[in-house]
Amino acid sequence: MPLMPAPLLLSEARRGGYAVGYFESWDSYSFEAALEAAEAESAPIIVGFGATMLDDAWLDHRGIDHLGAMGRTLIDGCRVPVAFLLNETHTLEQALAGVGAGFNFVMIDSQRWPKDDAMRASRKLVEAAHPAGVAVEAEFGSLPDFVDGRIVDDGAAMTDPAEAAEFVAETGVDALAVSVGNVHLLTAFTSEIDLDRLTAIRAAVDVPLVLHGGTGFPDDAVRAAIAAGVAKFNVGTRLKRNYLDAVVRRIGEWTGRESVHDLVGSHKPADFLEAGKAAFTDTVRGFLRLYGSAGRADDVLKVVAP
């Protein structure tokens, strides 16, 4: 199945009263796990790679091309609607490289840049991406991070509805990630969400809203957030944590007598990384049900069917 435009997935989510999940991968195992979860749940999905945790030198030396080629290869033949995101690049140039590398959805991590700089870069990205059929997400307002057992909010700021409307109008972005109490990297507890602010942003902004920090987002606030205009949730930290925990447990079972070729990179049941992949898949399937996107793939396909 060819890639689906992200704006189509998000508009159908808004129309259907659910949200699409973006589940961040870092290698072929995690990427395959996300796709397999979506197929198992018959759910539209956004898959991709995040630049935030990756080394700039690696990204700039063919790393983005590598990720794009690998992702497009794995997506080929997927039976559910998929969009392919290069998430939170460090620079405009990296996002532009993503446009040429096969991603159909790109985003710069400009949340803590001066407002004018962020607007200028997002507008330039839109001007380059849209003619190539690539959608653009931006973030306005900045999230705190959960680091070393505490929330670090240095430079964080909740999204102002009026300024968010100006940002969207000036840049032409297709989706807007907002800050309403959500927290990046939060694993110890759940965040406190300002639903009134989210509703006010929705009233001021006419593009689909996105919430990053899905790992620590409270389950019981998901439906209310969707009703307030959220069409996409980003999840990363919980996926990597569950993946790593499963791999470590499997390594603990190693007796030293097994073939290392079976245990590392074989894609066989004995492969340590297959244990991580299974944990990733199970976690994503739970999120797909939580967001209400499970079982919605056919609804999207009917819209694009000739």
Indicate the annotated binding residues for Zn(2+): 109, 139, 184, 212
Q: Residues forming the annotated binding site? A: 109, 139, 184, 212
> What is the distance between the alpha carbons of residues 152 and 155, in angstroms, rounded to a whole number?
9
Give the β-pairing of 150-152 and 145-147: antiparallel
> What is the distance between the alpha carbons of residues 137 and 230, in angstroms, rounded to a whole number?
13
> What is the distance between the alpha carbons of residues 232 and 24, in angstroms, rounded to a whole number?
13
CA distances for 217 relative to 182, 185, 297, angstroms: 6, 10, 24
Type of residue at 219:
D
| H/E run at residue 12 | helix 6-16
Closest CA to 238 of 224, 217, 222: 217
- Which residues does residue 181 pair with via DSSP β-bridges, in sequence order? none
Contact 122, 138 (CB under 8 A): yes
Q: Is 205 left (phi over 0), alpha (psi -120 to 50) or beta?
A: beta
Polymer length in residues for the chain: 306
CA distances for 222 relative to 14, 70, 101, 182, angstroms: 14, 32, 33, 12
